Every structure is written in C-alpha cells, then in structure tokens.
A = this chain, B = another copy of it.
Amino acid sequence: MTKMKWAVTAATLGALLLAGNAIAADKKVVAVSIPAADHGWTSGIVYHAQAAAKEINAAFPNVEVVVKTSPSAAAQVSALEDLSAGRKLDALVILPHTSEELTMPVKAVKEGGTFITVVDRGLNDPAIQDLYLAGDNIAVGKNTAKFLVDKLGGKGNLVVLRGIPTVIDDERIQGFKDGIAGSDLKILDIQYANWNSDDAFKLMQDYLAKYPQIDAVWANDDDMLLGVLEAIKQSSRTEIKYALGGNGMKEIIKKVIDGDAMTPVETPYPPSMIKTAIYMTVANLIGQAPIRGVVKLDAPLITKDNAAEYYFPDSPF
C-alpha cells in the first residue's frame, strides 16, 4: 500500500515537471468579486471564497483563482476594471453589491469573452449571466414551518420576526406561511427587526410582554435569533419550546450538533454557496463540464445527523 502511494506521488511529480513549461501560458484565470466582510454573512462569503481559491489553486496547476473584496458598489466597479485590466479573465464569479450599479460593468466584462457566474444577488439583466446560483429562501421558511407543525402536534402560538423589506424576506415569510397552512399553528405577531440582533432582542422583549403563551419563535435569520435567545434567557419564561433561525451561522449549527433543546434544527442559506459557484465554474474551465443555467440550492432541515456537513468551526460565520 505504501509502495503504491509513493508510485502515485512520483507519477504526480512527473506530471508536474512535464507540465512546467506549459503552465504559464495555459493558466486560466477565475476572478472572484465579492463584498468585503461588513456583517456575519458576508464575512462567511469572504472566508469560503478564499478557502475555495486555496483548495483549487493547490489542486489545479493550470487554474488561478483570484479573490477581490470590495467595501462598496463603487469599489466593486473599480475592482472589476482592475481585475480585467491587462489580462483576459476566463471567468468571473460575482456576488454584486447592488444589481443597479454592477449590471453594466459585468456586461462589459462578459463582452470581453468572460464566462459570468452570478451568486445570490441577481443582475438587472439575467441575459448577462451564464450561471446563476443562489439559495432557496422559500424552502428556508417552509422547512422550518414543517418542523414546527410536526413537533408542536399541529397547534400552538407563534411569534415571527421579519428582517428588512426585501424579496429575500418576503420569500422566507411566504414559505413559512405556506408551511403552516392547514395546521392550527397561529402567528400571534409578526414584525420587522432588520436582521439585527439588538433590534430582535427588543422586539422579542415586546412579544414576551404582550403574549403570555408563546410556543415557538421563528427569527427568520440567525443574527436575529441570537437576540431572541438572549431575551428569552433574561425572561423567566419557561413555556417556549422552540426558537429557530435560518442561514447557517456556526454558533447555531453548533447548537444543533450539541442537541440544544430550544434550537435543535437549522435551515441553511449558507455563504459557502460561493464555494459551490467557484467549483462549478472551474469544472467548466478545466473539464468543459456544462454548467450554464440557474441553480437554486435546496435548504434542507439541518439536524444533528447532517449538521457536520454545514459546520465550519474556523469560519467567522
């Protein structure tokens, strides 16, 4: 066995030596343009983009993945100019700061012959993208709702926290409402808390003051869930059976792994999706694997059984 492994190593070395002279000319460049780490989820995006670059650059000597973070839409527009100046980008993987400001700059890059992979936030003109990859916000809400219907035996009082008025928030809430439809789960109240822990803490305190019997809380997002859990902890309330979030924050996944009673499940809208997009793009460049189209990742219920797959202890998120 050891002998075979060394034979493989030697063969790999041989291939590297033979390939040596061809590498520079044949090297395919994949630029990854993403927002800087301005909150938990985008810090996860930065972490996973850099991890993908490291893994792929080590694995494929003829691919160079270059990651560039930008603190604003204007900076991202400049970054695109810098990235494509003086060299042909074979592919661009981009999570745009805003659809409005990035649509035309990305179109210009595409017109230079670059394969365009758009992640999470779409451009205003979908014809520009070759691959679009995002999570499924409807499933985030629906799968959480189905868990609660099941665990609460189809009846009980809920309070729900919304994020910021956006398509993302609308879809999550729609999925949740669809998921409890037909049951006797009742939403006592539903208000916005801006995907912010402090705002969620205050809103949850209001809910606790107003409603004497709350069976479960759905926070729609893990940053808000942290505020909710703190408010519950500071109260003397014991009737609340579940407080759930969504997104895949590592602190919440850890609770699932540890078998936490109040937060035993999670639904992902994982920043690691940037990694999926980068790997798919590289598969197309390296092996001509067909990837054109629209990919909507599922948001399966994360339980103790599968949580390790979604847990990144070294990630900031």
Q: Which residues of A line the B interface, CB within 8 A?
A: 1-2, 5-6, 8-9, 12-13, 15-17, 20, 23-24, 51-52, 55, 58-61, 136, 268, 270, 272-273, 275-276, 279-280, 282-284, 286-298, 300, 309-310, 312
Could you jot down 20 A-B contacts, CB within 8 Å? A1-B24, A8-B61, A13-B16, A15-B58, A55-B287, A136-B293, A268-B290, A272-B290, A275-B288, A276-B283, A276-B290, A276-B291, A279-B282, A279-B287, A280-B283, A290-B309, A291-B297, A293-B297, A294-B296, A295-B295
Judge whether B272 and A288 touch: CB under 8 Å.
Answer: yes
Judge whether B296 and A293 touch: CB under 8 Å.
Answer: yes
Copy total for this chain = 2
Residues in B whose Cβ lies below 8 Å from that of A136? 293
Judge whether B15 and A13 touch: CB under 8 Å.
Answer: no
Residues in B whose Cβ lies below 8 Å from that of A272? 288-290
Judge whether A275 and B279 touch: CB under 8 Å.
Answer: no
Whole-angstrom distance between the Cβ of A147 and the nearest chain B Cβ: 16
Residues in B whose Cβ lies below 8 Å from that of A61? 8, 12
Whole-angstrom distance between the Cβ of A269 and the nearest chain B Cβ: 10
Closest to A12 in B: B16
Judge whether B9 and A24 touch: CB under 8 Å.
Answer: no
Residues in B whose Cβ lies below 8 Å from that of A294? 296, 298
Judge whether A270 and B290 touch: CB under 8 Å.
Answer: yes
Judge whether B291 and A58 touch: CB under 8 Å.
Answer: no
Whole-angstrom distance between the Cβ of A313 and the nearest chain B Cβ: 11
Whole-angstrom distance between the Cβ of A133 and the nearest chain B Cβ: 9
- Given the interface contacts A17-B9, A23-B5, does A298 sit within 8 Å of B293 by beta carbon? yes
Judge whether A276 and B295 touch: CB under 8 Å.
Answer: no
**What separation, in Å, do the CA atoms of A308 and B289 have in the docked complex?**
12
Judge whether B58 and A12 touch: CB under 8 Å.
Answer: yes
Residues in B whose Cβ lies below 8 Å from that of A283? 275-276, 279-280
Residues in B whose Cβ lies below 8 Å from that of A59? 59-60
Judge whether A275 and B293 touch: CB under 8 Å.
Answer: no
Residues in B whose Cβ lies below 8 Å from that of A297? 290-293
Residues in B whose Cβ lies below 8 Å from that of A52? 287, 289
Whole-angstrom distance between the Cβ of A292 and the nearest chain B Cβ: 5
- Give the contacting residue for A279; candidates B15, B17, B58, B280; CB below 8 A: B280
